[in-house]
Amino acid sequence: MPFWVPEWSAPVNRFFQRIVGLAVVLIVALAAGLLWWGIAVTDPPSMWQPAHVTLSGIWDVVYNTQLPDLGVLAVALGIALILVLFVVVGERVVANRYRRAGVEVTRLTLAPQTVMARTRGVFAGEVTVTVLIPAHNEQASLPHTLTSLREQTLAPLRVLVVADNCTDRTVEVARAHGADVFETVDNAHKKGGALNQALTDLLPSMGDNDCVLVMDADSQIGTGFIAEATRRLTDDRALMAVGGLFEGEEGHGLLGQFQRNEYTRYRREISRRDGRVFVLTGTASVFRASALRAVADARGRDLPGKAGEVYDTAALTEDNELTIAIKSLGGLTVSPKGCTVITELMPTWRMLWAQRLRWQRGALENLGAYGVTPQTMRYWAQQIAIGYGVIALFAYFALLLLMVLAMDTWVWFPFWLCIGLLFAVERMVTAWRGGWRARVLALLIFPELVYDCFLNLAFLKGVVEIAFGRRATWKHVQHAPEEVAS
């Protein structure tokens, strides 16, 4: 069962949430210190003699063919492989444990064997999909979202727009496009609170094979999304949720291309994992009603949050939290290639900063809420890897700057040039599906490294904000007046 701090000890829980970011940084700093110590004890040569050559009689080139200490490289590579193996094997062991464990072994209500035993010989009807679209002043983007639903090869049973504190024509636009509307009452908890109100009204009347597709009002799903999700949920009655694989919309110049490349690589990674997903994306994911009811029943007892509510309104990233909640109850999830989503990109650096700060901080806070459990080990490893990447990337730029300032000539290092070439190829191959613009940007390496530095700074800002207990805020993309649909 999760190592979760019960409601009566909420102050302890909040304290753990505040130190979780520092814990990640401390672990990463220790790892970096060990590597530094490993290099120091090998007594690397401090003097080197670069060679000099003149090309075509006009270009003087200084280069150094000295290789790094092979022992240090071998140890660093070995440690990295061990850590990767630990994460991969650990994740498989946890997944298989709950997939195969019998009812007598696990008390988890959504574990596959538990679900299979409960539903054996019971026909709960055909799988149906009801769509929930939380919307706060989304009159501009909502028509495109509803159009993508009308173009599905398998139509949803019902489309319900959850209008939350709207001051524009969202309600009118939704009804004009044939959707039903649920208007929230006195909701002060943003998206999670709005969905909780709608689900409280909806879930009691739904059967085990009735499902809920929760999708953002600024996203459009592929035409086969609902059909593919329905097929998966029909074929495997132990499957609790089907998530979408998102890609970025067109536009927004270089900043948009950075984000599209990032999402392209994420899709590639999930596809290579056969759909085993880290996060059921909030842009569009389908849940069994029985899974959502189980989460609501476990809130306040086995899961963080208030009893009876599906979404924990204290979580900044509700999709990440709900994914951990379902996995903590033993539920199976998948994000197949057939479930595609086009989502909105951040149009400015300021908006991107706000979005990523919320994502990073939300992920850390969720780990603080759930603690260290078999289901969260993968997420801990992910945050530690991000922290180590921060140190590695900034150290790389710091050393480059140090060399430029300390030397009166540029020295080429063929070994590191080869490593850089391999890195460039890897960046280009992983962004290949994004088209020629994505490939060119990836091949240049340094623009994307600067973009990565920007994201890393958001990670560090999130750690600082958690440590000092600062309140987080939401940002909402404001569409230009000319984008507003009639």
Span 318-360, pLDDT tens digits: 899 999 999 999 899 999 989 999 988 999 999 999 999 888 8
CA–CA dist 155, 449 (Å, integer): 43
In three-state secondary structure terms, 166 is coil
H/E stretch holding 62 reads: strand 59-63
Summarize the confidence of residues 469-482 as an average pLDDT: 59
Q: What confidence score (pLDDT) does residue 225 get?
A: 95
Closest CA to 119 of 291, 204, 295, 238: 238
Average pLDDT over the chain, rounded to an integer: 84
Q: What confidence tier does 486 reach under pLDDT thresholds 50, 70, 90? A: very low
Give me the pLDDT at residue 385, please.
Answer: 84
Mean pLDDT of 215-227: 93
For residue 109, the one-letter residue type is: T
Q: How far apart, in whole angstroms, are the C-alpha atoms of residue 258 and residue 397? A: 20
- DSSP type of residue 304: S
- Is the per-residue pLDDT at 99 higher than 70? no
Within 273-334, residue ranges assigned H as helices are 289-298, 318-328
Q: Indicate the pLDDT class of residue 33, thresholds 50, 70 and 90.
A: confident
**Looking at per-residue confidence, does 297 or 57 come out higher?**
297
What percentage of the chain reaches a pLDDT higher than 70? 89
Does the pLDDT at position 8 exceed 70? no
In 3D, which of 81, 107, 80, 111 has the Cα closest to residue 94?
Answer: 111
CA distance 246 to 476: 19
Task: Identify the CA nearest to 211 among candidates 188, 190, 193, 231.
Answer: 231
Report pLDDT for 114.
87
Entry pTM: 0.84
Cβ neighbours, 10 Å, residue 217: 24
Lowest-confidence pick of 68-82, 90-104, 210-224, 364-378: 90-104
Report how far residue 97's alpha carbon sits from residue 91's, in angstroms, rounded to the nearest whole number: 10
Asked if residue 201 lies in contact with residue 292, where contact means CB atoms within 8 angstroms, the answer is no
pLDDT band at 484 (very low <50, low <70, confident <90, very high): very low
Among 38-42, 396-400, 464-468, which range has the highest average pLDDT? 396-400
- Alpha-carbon span 332 to 322, nearest angstrom: 13
Q: Looking at residues 81-96, what average pLDDT do you find?
A: 77
Q: Which pLDDT value is given to residue 162?
A: 96
Instruction: Examine the pLDDT at 1 and tell me if it is beyond 70.
Output: no
How long, in residues, is the chain?
A: 486
**Paired residues of 135 in beta bridges:** 163
Region 301-316: mean pLDDT is 90
Per-residue pLDDT tens over the stretch 146-187: 999 999 999 999 999 999 999 989 999 999 999 999 999 999
Is pLDDT larger for residue 106 or for residue 361?
361
Read off the pLDDT band of 470 (50, 70, 90). Answer: low
Q: What is the pLDDT of residue 485?
A: 45
Tracing tokens 């799903």 back to the chain, one arrives at: 221
C-alpha distances in Å from residue 208, one per residue of 44, 114, 415, 473:
64, 14, 59, 36
Query: What's the pLDDT tens digit per position in 223-281?
Result: 999 999 999 999 998 999 999 998 888 988 999 999 999 999 998 988 888 777 788 98
